[in-house]
Amino acid sequence: MARATTKRKPPVNQQKRQLIADVNKHSPIAEQYRTIRTNIEYSAIDKEINTLLVTSAGPGEGKSTTASNLAVVMGQNGQRVLLIDSDMRKPTAHYTFGMMNTRGLTNVLSRQQKLEDVVQNTSIENVELLTCGPIPPNPAELLSSKMMEMLLHQASAEYDIVILDTPPVMAVADAQILSNKVDGTIIVTSSGKTDREQIEKTKENLLKVNANILGVVLNNKPVDEKTYYYY
Ligand SMILES: Nc1ncnc2c1ncn2[C@@H]1O[C@H](COP(=O)(O)OP(=O)(O)OP(=O)(O)O)[C@@H](O)[C@H]1O
Ligand SMILES: [Mg+2]
């Protein structure tokens, strides 16, 4: 007798991730991302924000969602955007944009490839993506390398804005390492999930390395239907 096969759900990372800001440009959610974009522009008093890091205290708070949707609204605004998936622990940007991840950041940092040879065009106008590439055994070492600095230097000369997705601050040192090399850092918190103490610790850890914290994005805030549909 034939065994019934049940189709297994793909792991969370491989499930289709939606770029809300692209699907519906006029939705209140896309509008929220545009507000964040504007706030970032205005937060640069002395220095233009050319390189922007997105992080959070813990896992699953919405870093990757925020980073990709910000990339979309910035691209829609006519800025040339490079999104770098520098979360070498749990890369997801290639799933979000439906692209291959055979080569990426890892290959550039280990000097096997040049940025221009591995960067990919996305379906979104003005938005290019440097995926993570093969997961390396030593992410922190690669991210703190001179090569990473050179990459950021090159990218900020070629793009209007470079956005870095990173792992959580409270888990590994990667975001801390990178926040010291970029113009600005934003912390994503998840409504009702991130506790205040964790946010404070995250802020402290980032300030210790002289990160320029631009602000906090509150993600997953429950919306009341009435305000949600109110324009
Ligand atoms: N505002 C939101 N509304 C609905 N779903 C969301 C929202 N933000 C994030 N998600 C979903 O929650 C999950 C985690 O989000 P995301 O991958 O952006 O978090 P992350 O901080 O990057 O996680 P990780 O620490 O694993 O890298 C994803 O499946 C994402 O689609
Ligand atoms: Mg992520």
Supply the CATH number for residue 199's domain.
Answer: 3.40.50.300
For the Cβ of 58 lying below 6 angstroms from any atom of ligand 1, the answer is: no
pLDDT band at 25 (very low <50, low <70, confident <90, very high): confident
pLDDT of residue 128: 98
Say if residue 6's pLDDT is above 60.
no
**CA 163 / ligand 1 centre spacing (Å):** 17
pLDDT band at 8 (very low <50, low <70, confident <90, very high): low
Q: Name the domain count of the chain.
A: 1
**CA 197 / ligand 1 centre spacing (Å):** 21
The answer as to whether 146 is a domain residue is: yes
Say if residue 1's pLDDT is above 50.
no
Q: Which residues pair with 130 in a beta bridge?
A: 84
The answer as to whether 8 is a domain residue is: no
Say if residue 227's pLDDT is above 90.
no
The answer as to whether 14 is a domain residue is: no
For the Cβ of 183 lying below 6 angstroms from any atom of ligand 1, the answer is: no
Question: In this structure, which ligand is nearest to the CA of 12?
Answer: 1
The answer as to whether 1 is a domain residue is: no
For the Cβ of 92 lying below 6 angstroms from any atom of ligand 1, the answer is: yes
Tens of pLDDT along 168-208? 999 999 999 999 999 999 999 998 777 889 999 999 999 99
Tens of pLDDT along 92-142? 999 999 999 999 999 999 999 999 999 999 999 999 999 999 999 999 999
- The mean pLDDT of the chain is 89
The answer as to whether 150 is a domain residue is: yes
Q: d(Cα 231, Cα 215) in Å, to the nearest integer?
A: 25
The whole-number average pLDDT for the span 61-77 is: 95
* Residues of the domain holding 173: 33-88+95-228
For the Cβ of 63 lying below 6 angstroms from any atom of ligand 1, the answer is: yes
> Is the Cα torsion angle 31, 32, 36, 42 positive or negative in sign?
positive
**CA 83 / ligand 2 centre spacing (Å):** 13
pLDDT of residue 26: 84
The answer as to whether 143 is a domain residue is: yes
Q: Which atom of ligand 1 is nearest to the CA of 188?
A: 21
Residue-wise DSSP of 143-190: HTSHHHHHHHHHHHHH-SEEEEE---TTT-SHHHHHHTTSSEEEEEEE
Reading the block at residue 51, the tokens are 């390189």
pLDDT of residue 2: 47
pLDDT of residue 16: 58
